[in-house]
Structure 1
Amino acid sequence: MQHASKHSIVPLNVPHSRSHEGRFGRLFGRGFTPWSPPGATDAEKEAAIRTFAIDEMFAVGAPPDSATPVGYTYLGQFIDHDITFDPQSSLTRHNDPDGLQNFRSPRFDLDSLYGRGPDDQPYLYDHVRVLPDGFPGFLKVGTGESPKEPDVQRNADGVALIGDPRNDENRIVSQLQLAFALAHNSTLQKLADAPVPAGEIAPSGRKLFLEAQRITVWFYQYVVWNDFVSRIVDEKVFAKAIAFDEDGGDAGGPFYSVTYGLQDVYDWSENPFMPVEFSVAAYRFGHSMIRAEYQINIELQRSVGVSPPIGTQFGKPIFSTPGVAQPSVPVPGPPDLRGGSPLPDRHSLQWDWFFDFPSSGGPFPQRAHKIDTHLSKSVFTIPGGPTPNPLAELNIRRGWRMELPSATDVAHALHIRPIENLKPLEESLWVYILKEAAEQADGEHLGAVGSTIVAAVFSGLLRGDAFSYLNRDPHWTPAKEKAGGVALFEKVSTADPEKWEISDLLAAAGVPVDGQDIADLFS
């Protein structure tokens, strides 16, 4: 498919309407001049992008660490795969950016986990472990190279049989996929095991499944907003995006309301759409947070025979890059963490090395790099292209080809004072959002423009889902869920007694959290 004419305002096949389903759309469409890199011809523009990306966007050494645990980088990737699905779009493929169609519902509904359900996609579900009436409500999981280590289910060729193939792109996101499946299964088992009150009829397997699905999805939605988004956007923007009227509800009155702000930024009349300014620029901030290496678990490091076996020299990159030095100590197994095959032996993630748990300590959890304009060399060569194939170049080119407006125009449209004295390539919306985060928040979270776009879209998607917990029970928390009068979940996070985190969901899933859990896998 050819790109739209250079004289058009937006690509002709990207809808301008705010009322459409299953499509990408725009926050800033007609009337905005598309940003273009310097150069008289497309070849010159491509060269300018490549030069800037290679010379200015890849750190010579390791980029600085933030205070954010590394797991949030990949939780962000998992969330992205839940709300957008272009079958040709992934870190490991070249894409035609003018041919995008969003085949995934733009809602936080875990359809990347549940697919179309047990009836339409029965292969996603376990037909051996079933509910008392025979209903197949448990998600099917498999094992890795070691039968002691759980993995997403795979076919005989090692291809993951999951709702979204991109969730097997690397080991971290595939282990998150597995964790959500196990969280559902654990919740379903507890519901099935709960005693039935005298005089009542036991619920059907289908009803138990739907209840476990609701609880798991609501737990996920709660974490998305209260744990993930609250960390990555400016706190004032976060508070403005969704505000609770405390005159009622928790304050004791009969009435309460939820006020969604930022509707002037992201609005739709019937169905939410996926804005390209979000998916192509603002939400790609996580690429800057990718580390050069990740330490996996204590058992794998013990295998190298060094004491104490802790340190970045024992880590593995997401993608090994030709010409870039690998960690100084060869860790057993593949050279990197790319997916597409069964989990290698002793590669189960030790989750207190990726998120905050009471058992985390010392250098753990590992920290994501700061959000800034310097990317790790681990994404200097993305699989599936030439060498080098820098992720930064692909992102800038994609924004240009999607004809996004300049960053300065976007800032003005949002009534935000833009950064001055920008270089031509820093007007790329993606580059600007990284630069803004570095200058305004020291790389710890997004700046004004990035925060506004991300918070507006996330809150808008929650608002647009009639079945989200914010629409059905705005003051819901996981603490409300019980089975047989017993709480379904135990809170393990300690930073805020009122807020649940992804670590609480992982604990509920029963995945290995600390070194003892890892050791127990092999005992």
Structure 2
Amino acid sequence: MNNNHGQHSFYGKNMLCTLKSYQIESIGRFGRMFREVSPLYINPLELNKLGAPGGPMEGTSPAQLTSDVPLGMIFFGQFIDHDITFDTQSNFSSINNPLQIENTRTANLDLDCIFGGGPEDEPFLYDKPNGRGLYLLTGKSNQNQGQAAKLEKHDLPRTGTETAIIGDPRNDENRVISQFQLAMIRFYNANYDAIKNADPHKSAVEIYEEARELVMYHYQWIVVNEFLPLLCGSKIVGDILGSGRKFYKPCNQPFIPIEFSVAAYRFGHSMINQALKLQPSGPVHSIFSPQFGRGFEKIKNEAQVIHWETLFDFDGTYQRAEKLDTKLAAILLDLPFIQSANPADRSLATRNLRRGQSFLLPSGETIAECMQRDTAEINDIKNLIRNLAQTHDINLDSGTPLWFYILAEAEEIGRIDSAGSKPGEGLGPVGATIVAETIIGLLEMDEASYLGSNRDWSPTLGTNGVFTMKDLLNMANTAIDL
């Protein structure tokens, strides 16, 4: 850590006083949604207590579950995050300037984690254009070293050291995200095959371009019409689509706001179950067990193959996500893979809180006031927070970290649909607005997306203009085994 307090002192003062240095976004960098708001500072020892095992954020056992949020949708949210953000530079030990942090993913929902740079840029992801065609490769086509032939079609293509050959290495970090990456590959292959069979005179490149757009549009449709209403509420999503964005307003080009990436979009950490099943009749696994959570290795037996009806709504028997509230599964407050003698380093909650402070995020109350939320509503949420903090002798008198405020808001108000609010079932108004405006804004500002290029488009797959995650996964299962 640099202890030379004189270095860059004038630059630091500018940031802390006005944050004007964040006014204009740079291509390929992060940015701010609320540029005129002063940051919150909390004593790090108080943050440590807030996120500590046994503290106010440790969840109960048995877990409190939502009524209608499939657990698979939380992992789908992780997939979306990997599609639009990748920060490899920020750290906890210094102030992070969003304009200096490179986003190594495009700020578009363009599935570059699936397609990479395309067959010309990354041909190793694809079959031969002059052979079978530009299908995406799987474990079977790769003939993964040391893997049983019957398991290859259920796995990603891998090197001899078991590294997945995919557009984003993070999509192999647990079994669900790895299998969903494969499902998206198979969904593309099924559409490529259908287009190829419908018109065998089209070139491989023509089929690829058509299939890629079809897959991308249907994926984006699910994000806007299934994922966002489920987690942000149909009322807020409908208001944004109907009346426009009020807070996510890039100056030049789309960017990822840190209020989204460092705070609001980390809501899923509260909804992940400590134990889950991969198959309806299979055993329950810890999220950090070798069967489920170790990641970055090939499938070794059929018990590791995901049956999607276990995680998504096929027939109503799916596993529900945990409630969205101020609690995290106990195992997330003592991460087994973090090698540190400091307990604060091993708590996912504390790491989120420290990260928010390092990015100079404002308090949750301040953001709520900027959004002109009702004073009585803000006071109700602050009372919940105050009661939690006082019970554990935590001082949050100067304000509430934005991430924790958003979790408390979800616990107090929750998802707002046409029938009213549903505490614990999704994000409250501040969190939902940040998440939904950002994702919808990224689509609206992308000339290659359906919202940015053809707002009259509706799904051609599915039934009568309705296309769901169930439809996508069912079609993925029909793909030829490559």
Query: How far off is 1:502 after superposition?
Result: 1.1
Which deviations, in whole Å up to 9, do the C-alpha atoms of 1:154-188 show, x marking residues without a partner?
11000111111111111101111110000001100
Q: For the Cα contact (< 8 Å) 1:23–1:102, is it kept in 2?
A: yes
Structure 2: stretches of 5+ with no match in the other structure: 387-394, 415-422
TM-score by length of 2: 0.83
Aligned AA (1:372): D
Pair 1:377–1:477, CA change in 2 (3 A):
same
Letter in 2 for 1:34: P
1:395 aligned onto 2:352? yes
Q: 1:12 offset after TM fit, Å?
A: 11
Deviation at 1:450, TM superposition (A): 0.5
How far apart are the structure 2 equivalents of 1:64 and 1:281? Answer: 22
- What are the Cα deviations for residues 472-522 of structure 1, in whole angstroms up to 9, with x where unaligned? 32232222xxxxxxxxx444xxxxx7632111111111179xxxxxxxx9x
Q: Please, which of 290, 297, 300 is the counterpart of residue 272 of structure 2? A: 290
SS in 2 for 1:68: strand
Counterpart selection for 1:505 from 472, 475, 482:
472
How does 1:490-501 map onto structure 2 within 5 Å? 490-491=462-463, 499-501=466-468
Q: Shift of the alpha carbon at 1:68?
A: 0.3
What TM-score results when the alignment is normalised by the length of structure 1? 0.77
Question: Are the structure 2 counterparts of residues 370 and 511 from structure 1 closer, same or farther at C-alpha, using a change threshold of 3 Å?
Answer: farther
1:431 matches 2:399: no
Give the Cα separation in 1 of the matches to 2:62 and 2:331: 10
Q: Would the aligned equivalents of 1:14 and 1:25 in 2 still touch at CA under 8 Å?
A: no
Q: Which residue of 1 aligns with 2:46?
A: 48
Q: Which residue does 1:349 correspond to in 2?
A: 306
Q: Output the CA distance in 1 between the equivalents of 2:275 and 2:478.
A: 22
1:165 matched residue in structure 2: 169
List per-residue Cα deviations over 1:395-447 (Å, max 9, x = no partner): 00100111100111111111113233444547100001011011002110110
In 2 relative to 1, CA 373–420 (structure 1 residues): closer, same or farther, beyond 3 Å? closer
Pairs within 5 Å for 1:9-88: 9=15, 16-30=22-36, 32-38=37-43, 45=44, 47-54=45-52, 55-66=55-66, 67-87=68-88
Asked whether the 8 Å contact 1:354–1:366 carries over to 2, the reply is: yes
Letter in 2 for 1:231: L
RMSD value over aligned CA atoms? 2.7
From the two aligned structures, give the one with the greater helix fraction: 2
Higher mean displacement: 404-413 or 378-387: 378-387
Tell me, in whole angstroms, the C-alpha distance in 2 between the residues paired with 1:443 and 1:170.
Answer: 25
| Identity %, equivalent residues | 35
CA 1:160 to 1:10, structure 2 compared with 1: closer, same or farther past 3 Å? farther
Contact 1:9–1:33 (8 Å) recurs in 2: no
Give yes or no for contact 2:459–2:465 (8 Å, CA) kept in 1.
Answer: no
Tell me, what secondary structure is at the counterpart of 1:446? coil
One-letter amino acid matched to 1:283: Y
Q: For residue 329 of structure 1, what is the aligned residue in structure 2?
A: none
Q: Is the 8 A contact 1:183 1:216 kept in 2?
A: yes
Tell me what 2:413 maps to.
Answer: 440
TM-superposed deviation, 1:152: 1.2
Q: 1:188 to 1:511 in 2, by over 3 A?
A: closer
Q: How many residues align?
A: 432
CA pair 14-60 structure 1, distance change in 2 beyond 3 A:
farther
Change (3 A) 1:122 1:414: same
2-structure distance, mates of 1:439, 1:345: 43
Aligned-partner SS, 1:294: strand
Which amino acid is 1:386 matched to?
S
Q: 1:386 matched to which residue of 2?
A: 340
- Give the Cα–Cα distance (whole angstroms) in 2 for the partners of residues 95 and 190 of structure 1: 52
Give the counterpart letter for 1:339 in structure 2: G
Q: How big is the shift at 1:218? A: 0.4
C-alpha distance after superposition, 1:445-467 (max 9, x if no partner): 11010011111111110111011
Unaligned runs of 5+ in 1: 39-44, 197-201, 244-259, 302-313, 321-333, 480-488, 492-496, 513-520
1:292-331 matches, cutoff 5 A: 292-298=274-280, 301=282, 314-320=283-289
CA distance in structure 1 between the partners assigned to 2:440 and 2:333 by the alignment: 33
Q: Deviations over 1:171-222 (max 9, x none)?
A: 10111111000000110011111146xxxxx221101100000000001110
Does residue 187 in structure 1 map to residue 191 in structure 2? Answer: yes
Q: Which residue of 1 aligns with 2:244?
A: 261
Q: Residue 316 of structure 1 aligns to a residue in which SS?
A: strand
Whether the 8 Å CA contact 1:380–1:390 is kept in 2: the answer is: yes
Could you tell me how far apart the structure 2 residues matched to 1:398 and 1:282 are?
13
In 2, the alpha carbon distance for the partners of 1:368 and 1:96 equals: 34
Match of 1:466 in 2: 447
Deviations 1:59-116 (A, max 9, x none): 2423310020100000000000001122368xxx989772631111101100111111
